[in-house]
Amino acid sequence: MTAATPDTVTTAAVLLATGLPFAAFALIMAALRGRPRLCAGLSIAAITVSLSAALLLLVRHWHMTAPIGAAAQWLVSGRITVSIGFLLDPTSLLMLTIVTAISFLVQVYSLGYMAGDPGFARYYGCMSLFAWAMTSLVVSPTMLQLYVFWELVGVASYLLIGFWYEKFSASEAGKKAFVMTRTGDVAFFLGLLLVLVHFGNLDILKMNAGDVPLHMPPAMITLSALLIFGGIVGKSAQFPLLTWLPDAMEGPTPVSALLHSATMVAAGVYLFARLFPFFRLSPTAMTVFLAIGTISMLLASTMAMVTRDIKQVWAYSTISQLGFMIMGLAAGGYVAGVFHLTTHAGFKALLFLCAGVFIHTFGTNDMFAIGRAGGRALKIPMICMTIGAAALAGLPPLSGFFSKETIMGRLAGLSNPLWLGAGLLGAFLTAYYTFRLIFAVAVPAPEKSGDEAPVGAPHGGHGGDPHHDRHYRLMAAPLVVLAGVTLALGWAHGALGRFLTAVDPGLDAHPAAHLAWLPYVAIGLALAGVLLAWVEFGRTASARIGFVERVEPVARLFARRWYIDDFYRWFLDRVVYARLSAFCDQGDRRVIDGGLDAVARGTVGGSRRLSVLHLSMVQYKMMVIFAVMGLLTLYFFLG
Amino acid sequence: MVNWMTLSPELFYGLVMTAVFMVLCLVPANPRRDHATALILAAVGLAVTVGATGMRGDLFVDTYRVDLFSQVFKVMLSLGLLLVVLLCSELAGVDEKRHALVYLLLSLCTLAMMMLVSAVNLVTIYVALELSSYCLYVLVFLRKGQARSAQTAIRYFLVGASASAVMLFGLALIYGAARTTSVVALSAALPQLISRPDVLTGLLMVLGGFFFKLALFPFHFWAPDVYEGAANQVAAYIATASKVATVAVLIRIVAMAGDGSLLLVRALAALAIVSMTVGNLTAIVQKDFKRMLAYSTIAHGGYILLGILSMSPEGFSAAVFYAFTVLVLKFSCFFVLAKVATDGANLSIDGLAGLHRRSPLLAMVLMMALFALAGIPPTIGFTGKLFIFTAAMAKGHLVLVLIAMFNVVVSLYYYLLAIKAAYLTEPAKNLPAIRLSVGERLLAGALVAVTVCAGIFPAPLLDLAEAAVRTVI
């Protein structure tokens, strides 16, 4: 398949959508850092134009039958070509709209949330950097260009998490996120190199065109698919690289809403959808993806059941839902996965932004403390969060219900019933932990609410602020918009499905199984989860202890994230730092310290003793040099 | 009849520059005058070298060849010298009386390395290598506080002397097998002899002399001590210009072996892997900024060797491109170092704290350079690594590239430590803002621009590197 040439309006719109945020970023960083309000205005203006351009593109090309793209040669060396440009097809158009829309809403919301912050200008600069990198990632026509922006969104994420400078944990979390995702990118990049060397091309359309098997043996395709999937595992925080995402919640809440739920982490799933025909060439790889998605979905759900931190719950649920999307795609459901990606972006951004209002108002992340402080008095966020939660739990008629059903249908179509069972279990757990949070905030424990905080009067760090009302309105407006989207988007299922498969009907070739009982079972399980949450947390008289927390070892296992982090910590401390780095460092460290001492003391005896040590250390180095050369010589003679 | 015009860069550095500074060494010291003279002469030298890029010729009974390959490297060398001289406006690490001597030795060393990249006879190569090394030994010694710098210089000298011994033995082995020391004759003779273990051993030992210069395992021991013990500007010179010259001659030597032998490739691969792993893992625990850079240099030597051991035109040109990358990026780091540590002292990583307040421009130069060293796109560091890894993959070194990529991730960890110090850590006490002159601001801007632009548009540089490499294979 080749891309059609774009007309002038399309080219201009793409350039505006991707270029303006960069211009805003450059201007803010170069000249305007001293004028925070102007920076915010500039950034929001840029993203508004981007959003309009994206919507224009979506409407213009709603009936597209062939992808549209333009590319220029960037590097030609031997039989390897790399080009830069843009590529528009239904998936990228949809994703472009999602990214610009959520960016726009979050930037408006941040006007209230970040007001008065000393780093206001820098915050908007980084937001523009992210918008530029993410929109450019979405329209990339080649994997190399995609990889470049893939790393740049990582940089933006690093800068935005470490945004609150004074918080040590934030900068640590930023670093952890960056290094962990880059670990996944090692595999990703290696996979790309494999394709580049064997196939000679990283053009997305060509990789998907189906003639890859002519150039690469099946084992090589499987290997490169698995390696590329490594990047998805890192970026979308899937097992075993999932622990960076909860820590990344140290960043400001709008950042969590934009990067760490709706868009950046979804880039992994987007990449899966992008290379879907390529991945499908290897059934083995698809099965591995299915397993990774399932494990991540279930693990993260269990973690969400025990945490008290409101943002952590949504973070775990993001991992879990991304895993669910990967399950859907790996089960062959292209439309199912992309549709869930779309609905999830809406309701998860909504949930985070609601959580942000609570955190902003009450100054705490603890859901029970928010409940006691009178969280339900904030009407708009409370209602919106309940809508989002119901969508996440998969209750009709909200958007989440429809997209979850399509994935369930796909899972039911697989020959092994295990996957469907896991999916249904996940639906139950999701409903349980979601409504545990809702009830914890909405129905505070009665005995404590009396003495600590009068119900119905929100107060906290911002209570006495005269600007508070204006900030509250600025934050509430995006919530209402997103809640409306969550209510409506489910009905667009059919239209979106037709749009996504218009260019390549082969994408969704195998129809899903239609089991009449499946929706009822799924709804039943979701309702059972809600009911259980109500029994344990929702009644005034309930003990507010989850069934998991009654079994101490299991609760600890979940709360410690299945000891995955402890394993990494142990590995880094014991193996890398204590053994390897220390061993490598040992040789010269001793010499240097000895040398300093010798100069400092200057005593004859001390110097003599240390100079013996020196001499021996130089000898030791010489010995290594000659031993290595000798061994290699031996190797030459014996080999 | 020798056409002296082809030698204009060597003549300029060898006669004009050394003569001027020899005179300046004898008259009473005046640091400002010395620096201005050095700056003007280095700039003229760069112009002369650029002007001589079109020269071609074989000189001195075919022991000396002027071709595109050597001229490209000579431009990089004189650029490196000019950059380092720019840093010398505050040469606080060296006694004022000896500034002229520093410039003299720097120009002499540059001359020696120019001879190194042009030499096509093993004996000439050896002599040029020794000349450049001896200049550096003395330069390291010249730092204030001589008890310490003498120690460092002697250790540097000891490792260097053993590397030279190893190299001489290797030369003898090769001469014994091929009965010639001319690189041209050897390129014809060696591919038939390459399966003999004594020839392989000889080749490896000759390479050992350059591994010392490049700070590759097992000849890397001197680097951290020397970086830490030498004056900041001298360390900058060792980290930039000296590495560039070594890459050139490594390519010349390895190219002699033709397609190479599996044994040699495996041996080089082992050294490359150990170098990057040792370098990166040790860098993690460093507290001193220069020591960290030294270990990062050891690791980068490993990446360069990865390109060279591919033994393909793509691999060689990737190595040339990467040499330029290292020149720019390491210089950026040392530029920041020299401006922050104006007293000429060493700088701990914590000493970078609050840099983004003291000088946003310097903080940005540092961040871009470190991100580029860690291979973050779209910087030149990413593009350089892309070329090297692609060339290695094309030769089927999958495991090698995998290990290298993991090393790149490990390196990100300690680069982020420095970035964090510069941007996120608050200094214990309020430090004054760092003032930059207009020229320094321009230089900082140029460094960032090159880091990004050459990353996005590498084609002209890569074409040049490919054209240069084509003349040696």
- Read off the pLDDT of residues A438-463 as tens digits, 9 standing for 90 and up: 888 888 776 544 444 444 444 444 44
Residue A423 in any domain: the answer is yes
Across the interface, whether the CB atoms of A148 and B378 are under 8 A apart is answered yes
What does the mean pLDDT of chain B come to?
A: 87
Q: How many residues does chain B have?
A: 473
Chain A contact for B224 (CB, 8 A cutoff): yes
Which one is predicted more confidently, B17 or A95? A95
pLDDT at B312 over 80: yes
pLDDT at A608 over 60: no
Tell me the average pLDDT across B429-433: 80
Point out the least confidently predicted range of A1-15, A196-210, A604-618, B95-109: A604-618
Chain A residues touching residue B148 (CB < 8 angstroms): 595, 599
Chain A contact for B467 (CB, 8 A cutoff): no
**Nearest-Cα residue of chain A relative to residue B397:** A194
pLDDT digits (tens, 9 = 90+) for A203-252: 888 888 878 888 888 888 999 999 999 999 988 888 888 888 888 888 88
Q: What percent of chain B has pLDDT over 70?
A: 99
Going by DSSP bridges, is the β-strand pair A68-77/B57-59 parallel, antiparallel, or unpaired? unpaired
pLDDT at A567 over 60: yes
Positive or negative, the CA dihedral B118, B121, B127, B129 is positive
The Cα–Cα gap between B213 and B156 comes to: 11
Q: Half-sphere exposure of residue A521, counting CA atoms within 13 Å on the CB side? A: 13
Chain B residues touching residue A154 (CB < 8 angstroms): 376
Helix H or strand E segment including A76: strand A68-77
The Cα–Cα gap between B178 and B199 comes to: 9
Break chain B down into helix, strand, coil percent, rounded to 5. Answer: 80, 5, 20
The Cα–Cα gap between A548 and B114 comes to: 73
pLDDT at B435 over 90: no
The Cα–Cα gap between A529 and B444 comes to: 60
pLDDT at B79 over 80: yes
Beta bridge partners of B94: B143
Residue A594 in any domain: the answer is yes
Q: What b/e readout covers B440-466, taking b as 16+ CB neighbours within 10 angstroms?
A: beebbeebbebbeebbbebeebbebbb
Residue A507 in any domain: the answer is no
- Reported as a pLDDT band with limits 50, 70 and 90, residue B78 is very high
- Reported as a pLDDT band with limits 50, 70 and 90, residue A607 is very low
Residue of A144, A182, A592 with shortest CB distance to B225: A592
Give the 3-state secondary structure of residue B379.
coil
pLDDT at B305 over 90: yes
Across the interface, whether the CB atoms of A637 and B224 are under 8 A apart is answered no
Query: Residue B193: how many CB atoms within 10 A of its CB?
Result: 17
Going by DSSP bridges, is the β-strand pair B57-59/B64-66 parallel, antiparallel, or unpaired? antiparallel
- Reported as a pLDDT band with limits 50, 70 and 90, residue B366 is very high
Same domain, A301 and A393: yes
**Nearest-Cα residue of chain B relative to residue A632:** B267
pLDDT digits (tens, 9 = 90+) for B57-67: 888 888 888 88
Same domain, A382 and A433: yes
pLDDT digits (tens, 9 = 90+) for B156-209: 888 899 899 999 999 999 999 888 888 888 888 888 888 888 888 998 999 998
- What is the reported pLDDT for A456? 41
pLDDT at A294 over 80: yes
The minimum CA-CA distance between A246 and chain B, rounded to whole Å, is 20
pLDDT digits (tens, 9 = 90+) for B402-425: 889 888 888 888 888 888 888 877
Q: Which domain holds residue B239?
A: 4-470
Across the interface, whether the CB atoms of A190 and B405 are under 8 A apart is answered yes
Helix H or strand E segment including A68: strand A68-77
- What is the reported pLDDT for A289? 93
pLDDT digits (tens, 9 = 90+) for B220-267: 888 888 888 888 889 999 999 889 999 999 998 888 887 767 888 888
Across the interface, whether the CB atoms of A78 and B314 are under 8 A apart is answered yes
A462 CA to centre of own chain: 30
Q: Which domain holds residue A568?
A: 563-638
pLDDT digits (tens, 9 = 90+) for B448-465: 999 988 888 888 888 888
Q: How many residues does chain A have?
A: 639
Same domain, A534 and A596: no
Across the interface, whether the CB atoms of B281 and A580 are under 8 A apart is answered yes
The Cα–Cα gap between A46 and A16 comes to: 9
Same domain, A302 and A397: yes
| Structural domain count of chain A | 2
The Cα–Cα gap between A54 and A99 comes to: 9
Residue of A165, A193, A627 with shortest CB distance to B393: A193
The minimum CA-CA distance between B94 and chain A, rounded to whole Å, is 19
Same domain, A428 and A567: no
Chain A contact for B165 (CB, 8 A cutoff): no
- Decide if B249 contacts B377 (C-beta within 8 A): no
Q: Which residue has the tokens 């084992």?
A: A219
User: A76 — phi, psi (to 5°)?
Assistant: -125, 120
The Cα–Cα gap between A337 and A348 comes to: 16
- Decide if B447 contacts B335 (C-beta within 8 A): yes
Provide the token pair at B322.
């990467």
Residue A52 identity: S
pLDDT digits (tens, 9 = 90+) for A121-149: 888 888 999 999 999 999 999 888 898 89
CA-based nearest residue to B381, from B435, B466, B456, B445: B456
Tell me the average pLDDT across A315-320: 91
Same domain, A549 and A580: no
Give the 3-state secondary structure of residue B348.
strand
A 183-242: CB under 8 A from B: 183, 185-186, 189-190, 193-194, 196-197
**Nearest-Cα residue of chain A relative to residue B287:** A589
Domain end position, chosen among A559, A584, A609 = A559
Chain B residues touching residue A190 (CB < 8 angstroms): 398, 401-402, 405
Across the interface, whether the CB atoms of A162 and B389 are under 8 A apart is answered no
Same domain, A451 and A568: no
B 297-356: CB under 8 A from A: 314
Across the interface, whether the CB atoms of A175 and B420 are under 8 A apart is answered yes
Chain A contact for B159 (CB, 8 A cutoff): yes
Residue A214 in any domain: the answer is no
Across the interface, whether the CB atoms of B371 and A155 are under 8 A apart is answered yes
Residue A232 in any domain: the answer is no
Chain B residues touching residue A151 (CB < 8 angstroms): 376-377, 382
Residue A109 in any domain: the answer is no
Across the interface, whether the CB atoms of A182 and B155 are under 8 A apart is answered no
The Cα–Cα gap between B229 and A232 comes to: 45
Chain B contact for A587 (CB, 8 A cutoff): yes
Point out the least confidently predicted range of A384-388, A568-572, B349-353: A568-572
pLDDT digits (tens, 9 = 90+) for A326-367: 999 998 888 889 999 999 998 999 998 898 888 888 888 888
Across the interface, whether the CB atoms of A179 and B459 are under 8 A apart is answered no
Provide the token pair at A399.
């958007």
- Reported as a pLDDT band with limits 50, 70 and 90, residue A319 is very high
Provide the token pair at B225.
């001590």
User: B424 — phi, psi (to 5°)?
Assistant: -105, -30
Q: Is the peptide bond before B218 cis (omega within 30 degrees of 0)?
A: yes
Cβ pairs A/B, distance under 8 A? 146
**Nearest-Cα residue of chain B relative to residue A167:** B424
pLDDT at A305 over 90: no
Radius of gyration of chain A (CA): 27
Across the interface, whether the CB atoms of B285 and A585 are under 8 A apart is answered yes
- What is the reported pLDDT for A591? 41
Chain A contact for B426 (CB, 8 A cutoff): yes
- Decide if A322 contacts A238 (C-beta within 8 A): yes
pLDDT at A464 over 50: no
Helix H or strand E segment including A82: strand A80-88
The Cα–Cα gap between A482 and A254 comes to: 14
pLDDT at A528 over 50: yes
CA-based nearest residue to A194, from B387, B389, B378, B305: B389
- What is the reported pLDDT for A166? 60
pLDDT digits (tens, 9 = 90+) for B22-41: 888 888 888 888 888 888 99
Same domain, A451 and A328: yes
Chain A residues touching residue B161 (CB < 8 angstroms): none
The Cα–Cα gap between B206 and A428 comes to: 69
The Cα–Cα gap between B400 and B387 comes to: 14
The Cα–Cα gap between A417 and A422 comes to: 9
Chain A residues touching residue B158 (CB < 8 angstroms): 618, 622
Query: Residue A144: how many CB atoms within 10 A of its CB?
Result: 20
- What is the reported pLDDT for A164? 62
Across the interface, whether the CB atoms of A194 and B459 are under 8 A apart is answered no
- What is the reported pLDDT for A613? 42
Same domain, A540 and A630: no
Chain A contact for B361 (CB, 8 A cutoff): no
The minimum CA-CA distance between B447 and chain A, rounded to whole Å, is 16
The Cα–Cα gap between A147 and A275 comes to: 13
Residue of A585, A595, A618 with shortest CB distance to B148: A595
Across the interface, whether the CB atoms of A624 and B225 are under 8 A apart is answered no
pTM of the model: 0.81
What does the mean pLDDT of chain A come to?
A: 81
| Structural domain count of chain B | 1
pLDDT at B281 over 50: yes
pLDDT at B146 over 70: no
Tell me the average pLDDT across B362-379: 89
Tell me the average pLDDT across A544-570: 77
The Cα–Cα gap between A220 and A185 comes to: 19
Residue A523 identity: I
CA-based nearest residue to B406, from A576, A235, A170, A291: A576
Residue A445 in any domain: the answer is yes
pLDDT at B344 over 80: no
pLDDT at A194 over 60: yes
Across the interface, whether the CB atoms of B218 and A625 are under 8 A apart is answered yes
- What is the reported pLDDT for B352? 86
Point out the least confidently predicted range of A120-124, B133-137, B319-323: A120-124
- What is the reported pLDDT for A576? 67
Q: Which residues are within 8 A (CB) of A292 and not within 5 positions of it... i.e. 6 or more apart?
A: A229, A233, A238, A239, A323, A326
Give the ipTM: 0.82
Q: Which residue has the tokens 């220069």?
A: B290
DSSP, residue by residue, B352-379: GTTHHHH-HHHHHHHHHHHHHHTT-TTS
Residue A275 in any domain: the answer is no
Terminal-residue alpha carbon distance, chain B = 27
Q: What percent of chain A has pLDDT over 90?
A: 15
- What is the reported pLDDT for A49? 92
Tell me the average pLDDT across A572-593: 59
